[in-house]
Chain A
Amino acid sequence: MLTPDSLNRINREIAKYPGDQKQSAVMAALAIAQEEKGWLSSDAIEFVAIYLGMPPIAVYEVASFYNMYDLEPLGKYKLTVCTNLPCMLSGGVDAGEYLKHKLGIGYNETTPDGRITLKEGECMGACGDAPVMIVNNRRMCSWMNPEQIDKLLAELE
């Protein structure tokens, strides 16, 4: 189900916790599974459950509670825009509107070519860099004015 590299990474996470507390690695394991597969299918969730010796429903509870896990397939790039108040005051909402216009899609939609899924996010803890957005949960992009957004979109092929 997962590559040896992903399993090695999960094993490193398990080692951070006391021997009888393997389930503490569930958040990391799901993040690693999602990184490899692009999203978390029922099979992926069940695999993580068996690997960590947890009931699948307990893993599903975690996967559905935290916003950054994706339980449905999405585009090659997930672009999450912060529109919370501090970002809004510096153009976060405008940046979202600009992206919708450029991509021809709304929030929670994917471009017809399967390239980009647009999401509205909550505070990312980087309000000084507003407007901010994150690519695929990993790469934070700061000070995203129209010019910077155009550059990012050109890069996300």
Chain B
Amino acid sequence: MAILGAINPMLTLGLNGDNAWRLADYVKRGGYAALRKILAEKMSQEQVINEVKKSVLRGRGGAGFPTGLKWSFMPRSFPGDKYVVCNSDEGEPGTFKDRDILRYNPHSVIEGMAIAAYAMSATRGYNYIHGEVWEIYTRFEEALDEARAAGLLGENLLGSGFNFDLFAHHGYGAYICGEETALLESIEGKKGQPRFKPPFPASFGLYGKPTTINNTETFGSIPFIMNLGGEHFLEAGKANNGGTKLFSISGHVNKPGNYEVPLGTPFAALLEMAGGMRGGRKLKGCIPGGSSSPVIPGDVMMSCSLDYDSISKAGSMLGSGAVIVMDETTCMVKALERLSFFYYEESCGQCTPCREGTHWLYKIVHRIENGLGRTDDLDLLDSVTMNIMGRTICALGDAASMPVQSFLKHFRDEFAYHIEHKKCLVPPDVQRAGSGFFKAMV
């Protein structure tokens, strides 16, 4: 079981045994009751959207935009096709929660998408699944077959006259497709290059039709909101930060994995659930919301709680809830070098500041890491980030710049030491011991 722990869980409650993902098991846990009720009572679309608004569910993919508000942007009465699309292209380094939601509770996503489609008059949906998690893609297809056979998808859902069908689409290795308009381009059979906005997908989305895109966990939360009521969901978290959330914790902890906790839970509590720091070492820094979110020094992180507002106050972002933990064996230059390589590799190449800028960021951090740094390199890095940020079509340029800016802000001395002494502040054998890989060999 990969959900390693929870406090007052909703999304992962009762996920026991190998068959938890099956339709029969989901129904036993109360699954599809919300959809049945909505269809049987012919609940109005406004009522459904209002319930989601009341829950203060904020987008779980990283941006944290209020879901109910997003749904209200859809031109529901617009004649013609409309789409709901699920973003399961989970490739933000540190994030692996959607994989487990689809692995253990795929029907919660299917039900959430069907409810969303009902609320926004959409008749067709796609779930875009990260290409690297192939077993998850095939399992989701099986779950779709189960739902279709039970009359929960397709024509005339449960005899209500409402039509909605849902299909799985797989990615094949492109981080940028997690950006919603790149994802739409990708479903349309093209290179995944983001579109200029506006127009937003709600007016010009998939195949040019009105489209709403939400993250897997966002859709997966919908049935629980409808069953328990929006207010109950909100109260499970804290004001302006409704509900529980899955946190993926990775790096230097004893039990990396997924944990579901109420928003507002202290970071220290999550760290304890994850078995504490590996080898009892000291927390040096933490990336709280996936690789694109600014790094926070360890002591500051220890006093943060896990919600959008608290992390934002500490100068970072809750993002996707991917908490990357780094202890004192980490060389911050090497850590940043790897992240910078990632953004360089994954820039789609459409905008010059990002295409060229991410290359420069990597090139400079790489030469610092390899003892060839120059005294003005740190200022040069700052300058390159300033020339990328805000000058690109999508957020990848910003995402590449924020780690650089924050690593330099909080760990500048370590970068300066590297340039001056042409070596790491943290000795290589200490770094190697930190990963624990070769220890397993002895």
Q: Which residues of A contact B (CB under 8 A)?
A: 16-18, 21, 23-28, 30-31, 52, 54, 58, 61-62, 65-69, 83-86, 88-95, 98, 121-131, 134, 137-140, 145-147
Across the interface, do B437 and A27 meet the contact criterion of CB distance under 8 Å? Answer: no
Across the interface, do B96 and A128 meet the contact criterion of CB distance under 8 Å? Answer: yes
- With known contacts A89-B252, A90-B251, A145-B440, A127–B131 Cβ distance under 8 A: no
Across the interface, do B291 and A68 meet the contact criterion of CB distance under 8 Å? Answer: no
Closest 7 CB pairs of A and B: A91-B437, A67-B173, A23-B189, A94-B437, A68-B173, A86-B250, A127-B250
Interface size range on B against A:
35 or more
B259, chain A: closest CB distance, angstroms: 10
Contacts of A30 in B (CB 8 A): 172
Task: Show 12 A/B contacts (Cβ-Cβ < 8 Å), sorted by A.
Answer: A61-B191, A65-B191, A65-B192, A68-B172, A69-B172, A88-B334, A89-B324, A89-B434, A90-B256, A90-B436, A127-B250, A145-B440
Pick out which of these stretches binds chain A: B8-16, B27-35, B339-347. B339-347
Across the interface, do B191 and A26 meet the contact criterion of CB distance under 8 Å? Answer: no
Contacts of A94 in B (CB 8 A): 432, 435, 437-438
Whether B54 is near chain A, meaning CB under 8 Å from some CB there, is no
User: Which of A30, A86, A92, A137 gathers the greatest number of chain B CB atoms within 10 Å?
Assistant: A86
Q: In the bound complex, what is the Cα–Cα distance between A30 and B436 (angstroms)?
A: 39
- Interface residues of B: mostly helix, strand, loop or mixed? mixed
Across the interface, do A127 and B190 meet the contact criterion of CB distance under 8 Å? Answer: no
User: Which of A16, A65, A89, A98 gathers the greatest number of chain B CB atoms within 10 Å?
Assistant: A89
Q: In the bound complex, what is the Cα–Cα distance between A118 and B188 (angstroms)?
A: 31
Mark out the residues of chain B between 152 and 177 whose CB falls within 8 Å of any chain A CB in the assembled complex. Answer: 167-175
User: Which of B169, B171, B258, B435 gathers the greatest number of chain A CB atoms within 10 Å?
Assistant: B435
Contacts of B435 in A (CB 8 A): 88-94
Contacts of A62 in B (CB 8 A): 189-191
Whether B395 is near chain A, meaning CB under 8 Å from some CB there, is no
A37, chain B: closest CB distance, angstroms: 15
Q: In the bound complex, what is the Cα–Cα distance between A30 and B186 (angstroms)?
A: 13
Pick out which of these stretches binds chain A: B85-93, B309-317, B382-390, B417-425. B85-93
Whether B210 is near chain A, meaning CB under 8 Å from some CB there, is no
Q: In the bound complex, what is the Cα–Cα distance between A83 and B437 (angstroms)?
A: 13
Contacts of A128 in B (CB 8 A): 2, 96, 248-250, 256-258
Contacts of A138 in B (CB 8 A): 134
Pick from A16, A92, A134: contact of B132, CB below 8 A: A134
Question: Which B-chain residue is minimally distant from A23 (CB atoms)?
Answer: B189
Q: In the bound complex, what is the Cα–Cα distance between A127 and B257 (angstroms)?
A: 8
Contacts of B437 in A (CB 8 A): 90-91, 94-95, 98, 131, 145-146
Q: Which residues of B contact A (CB under 8 A)?
A: 2, 81, 90-96, 98-99, 124, 126, 130-135, 167-175, 186-192, 207, 248-252, 256-258, 287, 291, 322, 324-326, 330, 334-335, 338-339, 342, 345-346, 348, 432, 434-438, 440-441
Contacts of A91 in B (CB 8 A): 435-438
B176, chain A: closest CB distance, angstroms: 9
Contacts of A134 in B (CB 8 A): 132
Across the interface, do B174 and A84 meet the contact criterion of CB distance under 8 Å? Answer: no
- With known contacts A18-B81, A123-B92, A146-B440, A27–B169 Cβ distance under 8 A: yes
Q: In the bound complex, what is the Cα–Cα distance between A39 and B13 (angstroms)?
A: 43
Across the interface, do B133 and A85 meet the contact criterion of CB distance under 8 Å? Answer: no
Q: In the bound complex, what is the Cα–Cα distance between A131 and B248 (angstroms)?
A: 15
Contacts of A58 in B (CB 8 A): 189-190
A19, chain B: closest CB distance, angstroms: 12
Across the interface, do B251 and A86 meet the contact criterion of CB distance under 8 Å? Answer: yes
Pick from B256, B258, B441: contact of A130, CB below 8 A: B256
- With known contacts A24-B187, A66-B131, A90-B436, A122–B99 Cβ distance under 8 A: no
Q: In the bound complex, what is the Cα–Cα distance between A69 and B174 (angstroms)?
A: 11
Contacts of B252 in A (CB 8 A): 89-90
Question: Which A-chain residue is minimally distant from B177 (CB atoms)?
Answer: A66
Q: In the bound complex, what is the Cα–Cα distance between A122 and B174 (angstroms)?
A: 9
Q: In the bound complex, what is the Cα–Cα distance between A131 and B436 (angstroms)?
A: 11
Contacts of B334 in A (CB 8 A): 88
Across the interface, do B432 and A66 meet the contact criterion of CB distance under 8 Å? Answer: no
